[in-house]
Structures are given as C-alpha cells and as structure tokens.
Amino acid sequence: MKLEGEHVFNGPQADVWEMFYDPNVLASALPGTQSLTMIGKNEYEGKMFVRVGPVSGVFDGKLLISNEVPPESCTLTVDGKGAPGFVKGSGDVKFVAQADGTTLMKYEGEVQLGGTLASVGQRMIDSVAKSMIRQAFESLDKALQERIAARAEGRAAEYKPPSEAEFAAAVAKDMGKSVLQSQEARVIMYVVLALLIMGIIAYILSNLPK
C-alpha cells in the first residue's frame, strides 16, 4: 500500500530534524508504543500495540534511518512482526524550510502487510493508517512546541502522549468524518434538516390559535 502526503510543522527545520532522533518524542508520537530504544546510531527497536478493526496485537519492530542529508531528507525503513501479522516498508521523508519559519515535511513510501492484518483488516487499513499518521503529526506538532518552549524557558522538555482511548476515539472520529464528507451523506443531512424544519413549521402553523 502506498503512503504519501505532506504536513507543515510550526517550527524551524533543524528542530524538526532533531525530533526524529529523539526516542522520547517518537515514542510519544505513536500511541500504543510500549517501548522504543535506540540500539544503534540510526536504529531503533520497539514494541507497539496496533488495532485495525477486529485485529489487534503487539508488534515487535525495528526502525532504521538511512540516506541522511541533514536536515533535509532521509529514508525510514520499518520492519515489524507480531501476532496480528507483519508490516514492512520504507519511505522517503523530505523537510523543506519555508520562508515563514515553518517546515514543510513531504513523505512518500510503500508498506507491505501480511498475516491477519492483511487478510481480515483490508477494509480499514487505509483509513486507520491515514488516521495514525494524522495523529502522529499532531503529537509531533505538540512535541515541537514543547521543545521550543522548553528551550526558551531553559528547562527540560516533557512529552505527553495521547492515551489509547483518546487515540481510538480520534480514529473513530476520523472515520466518521470521512463518511460524512461523502456527497451523499451531505445531501442526506440537508434533506433531513429541511424536512425537520418543514415539519416544525407545519406543526407550528397547525397549532396556531384559530
């Protein structure tokens, strides 16, 4: 499955780049992460709890950062397996400093899925993946702000990852939003609204004192 997109970070390119090398930040960005340790210069190892619809479980994974051109681009390679199946993939990430001091991040990658995740979770994988990525960016945004603030205030940064419940709620909200965004759903909403209003008016009119 192909994953691509962009995101604007509210901070300088150098800070954004450094965040990716901070295991605390990364661990907080992806909820469900149970542990994330740096085992080599560019290598992380960790455990992450993943849920895609009815399929859930803990993944053991490795994350490798390569082809680095700091602070502009790198390649992330991920290799995870667990009871729900396996995930393998890699993606190229580019950071472009913007004139207004923000950083545009572009990513493009390919992920292979296998096991129960692939054979039963097919319908939901796309939307769950997109939601996870969106969530991750939000967390990273918060982390970036915290990092900048902490430096300004001369203290250590504190990262608070969202809880699994919050994450699940957010995924559900995202999926609900994508349903509501469909043309038909909007039309139906307007029709229902119109009928409701007509119904109320009719009721009022029929109950006006004679």
Partner 1 sequence: MSYKIIGQRITRNEDAQLLSGSALFLDDVHLPGMLHAAFLRSDYAHARIKSIDTSAAKQRSGVVAVYTAEDFGDYWHVGPLQVPPPLAIAGAKFNARPLPPIAKDKVRFSGEPLAVVIAESRYIAEDALADIIVDLEPLPAVTDLEKALQPDSPLVHEDLGTNLAADVQQEHGNYAEAAAKADVIIKRRFYIDRGASGAMENRGFIVDWDEKTQTMTCWSNCQAPIPLRNTIAANLGLAASQVRLITPFVGGGFGPKIMTSQADDVLLPWISMKLKRPIKWVEDRRENFLATTSERDQIHDVEIALTKDGRILGLKDVFYHNTGAYDPYGMTVPLNTQTHTTGSYDIPNFYTRVIMVFTNKMVVTPVRGAGRMYGVYVMERMIDIAAKELNIDPVELRLKNMIQPNQYPYKTGIIGQDFVENVLDSGNYPATLKKAVEIIGYEKFIKEEQPRLRAEGKKVGIGVVCFVEGTAVGPYEGARVNVDGSGKVTVVTGVSTQGQGHFTSFAQLAAEQLGVSVKDVRVITGDTGHFHWGAGTFASRGATVAGNAIYSAATKVRNKALQIASSVLEAPVEELELADGVVRIADVPNKFITLGELAMRANPTRGTIDPNMEPGLEATAFYGPPHGATGQGAVAMIVEVDPETYLVKIKRFVIAHDCGTVINPLILDGQIMGGVSMGIGNAFYERMVYDENGQLLNASLMDYLLPVSTDMPPKMELAYFSTPSPLNQLGAKGIGEAGAIPTPAAFASAVENALKDAGIEILESPLDPCRLWQLVQQKQ
**Nearest to partner 1 of 63, 118 (CB atom):** 118
Q: How many residues bind partner 1 (CB under 8 A)?
A: 16
- Cα dist from 182 to 95, 131, 139, whole Å: 32, 17, 27
Does position 123 interact with partner 1 (CB under 8 A)? The reply is yes
**Nearest to partner 1 of 153, 184 (CB atom):** 184
Does position 81 interact with partner 1 (CB under 8 A)? The reply is yes
Q: Do residues 30 and 19 make contact, with C-beta atoms less than 8 angstroms apart?
A: no
φ and ψ at 49, to 5 degrees? -90, 125
Q: Which of 96, 120, 136, 148 is in the footprint of partner 1 by CB under 8 A?
A: 120
d(CA 88, CA 77): 8
Task: State whether the Cα torsion 72-73-74-78 is positive or negative.
Answer: positive
Tell me which residue has tokens 């700091």.
Answer: 70
Q: Do residues 58 and 83 make contact, with C-beta atoms less than 8 angstroms apart?
A: yes
Q: Helices (DSSP H) in the chain: which residue ranges?
A: 13-19, 23-29, 116-120, 122-153, 164-180, 183-206
Does position 85 interact with partner 1 (CB under 8 A)? The reply is yes
Does position 2 interact with partner 1 (CB under 8 A)? The reply is no
Q: Which stretch binds partner 1 (CB under 8 A): 77-85, 127-135, 145-153, 178-186?
A: 77-85
Residue 52: CB minimum distance to partner 1, A: 13
Q: Which of 34, 37, 98, 122 is in the footprint of partner 1 by CB under 8 A?
A: 122
Does position 140 interact with partner 1 (CB under 8 A)? The reply is no
Residue 84: CB minimum distance to partner 1, A: 9
Among positions 175-194, residues that touch partner 1 (CB under 8 A) are: none
Q: What is the dihedral of CA 22, 35, 76, 159, to 10 degrees?
A: -40
Does position 145 interact with partner 1 (CB under 8 A)? The reply is no
Which positions lie near partner 1, rule CB under 8 A? 57, 81, 83, 85-86, 88, 112-116, 118-120, 122-123
